[in-house]
Structure 1
Amino acid sequence: MIFRQLFDPSSSTYTYLLADAAAGEALLIDTVYEHERRDLALLRELGLRLIATLETHVHADHVTGAWRLKQRCGSQILLAEASGASGADRLLSHGDRVAFGSRYLEVRATPGHTNGCLSYVLDDHSMAFTGDSLLIRGCGRTDFQQGSASRLFHSVREQLLTLPPSCLLYPGHDYRGLTVTSVAEELRFNPRLGGDVNENDFAGYMNHLGLPHPKLMDIAVPANLRCGQPDQANSSDEPGWAPLTQTFSGIWEIQPDALAERLAQAQTQPASAVPLQLLDVREPAEFEAGLGHIHGARLLPLAELSARLAELDASQPVVAICRSGARSAQATVLLQKAGFKQLANLAGGMLRWHAAGLPVEGGRD
Structure 2
Amino acid sequence: MDGTKIAVTLTLAKTNDAEFLYIVGAHLQRMLALKAHLISVATTGVGETSLLVCGSSTEQVQRAALLASAKFLGHIKPLSAFNTSGTIWIASVRDVGWTPYDEAALWDVINKSAQDLVDPVQPPPGSRSIAQILAEARTRLQRLTPQQAYEELHDPNISMPVLLVDIRPAAQREAHGGIRGSLVIERNVLEWRFDPRCIEGRLEIATRYDLRVIIICQEGYTSSLAAASLQGIGLLNATDVEGGFVAWKAAGLPVEMPKQTWM
Question: Which has more radius of gyration?
Answer: 2
Same fold (TM over 0.5): no
TM-score range, shorter chain: 0.3 to 0.5
Instruction: Kindly indicate which of the two structures has a greater share of residues assigned to helix.
Output: 2
Does 1 or 2 have the higher relative contact order (CA < 8 Å, sep 6+)?
Answer: 2
TM-score by length of 1: 0.29
TM-score by length of 2: 0.40
